[in-house]
Amino acid sequence: MILYHGTNVDFETIDLNKKRADIWGGSPVVQEYVIDESVLESGELKVLRFDKPSREWADFIFKNRSRSQNPVNPFDIVQGPIADDGVAYLLNLYEDGLRTLDELAKELEYKHLNNQFCFLTEKALTYLRRVL
């Protein structure tokens, strides 16, 4: 499987201590990586997969993005819908008590979200091979 990473600063080694790229300056760069899909099913890594937005996905995203919650990440890789700005807006409504978790999940069902992979451990990174 080919995975793409967009950034504004090219790099050779992934540093898990860096949480986000510097958003000002730099030039657009698309990095291409390859991973053998069979590793996702082999049990070698702890993989959490969300096939579509759901109540469980919304709760997971909220707990991992909220400053008032402790992140829940005992996984090597998390795969699922991208929590974009529209999702962030809905999460804020939930956090402010303007939506229940069920209402949030229902609204998220109608969003057309692309899929993403989040590599969270050094072990998971060993399975990635940069191509471009």
pLDDT tens digits, one per residue of 68-77 = 666 667 899 9
> What does the pLDDT read at residue 19?
61
Answer yes or no: is pLDDT of 125 > 90.
Answer: yes
Between CA 73 and CA 76 the distance in angstroms is 8
> How far is 52 from 115, CA to CA, in rounded Å?
9
Per-residue pLDDT at 98: 93
* Strand 47-49 with 77-81, pairing: parallel
Residue 119 has a pLDDT of: 92
Q: What pTM value is reported for the model?
A: 0.78
Residue 3 CB coordination number (10 Å): 14
List the strands of the sheet with 77-81, edge to edge: 47-49, 77-81, 115-119
Predicted local confidence at residue 72, as pLDDT: 65
Q: How much of the chain, in percent, has pLDDT values that exceed 90? A: 36
Please tell me the number of Cα atoms within 13 Å of 87 on its side-chain side.
23
Cα radius of gyration rounded to whole Å, the chain: 16
Percent with pLDDT over 70 in the chain: 89
Tell me the pLDDT tens digit for each residue of 84-107. 778 888 888 988 999 998 898 888
Q: What confidence tens digit (pLDDT) does each residue in 3-31 have? A: 988 888 788 888 887 765 555 667 788 99
Residue 90: the pLDDT is 86
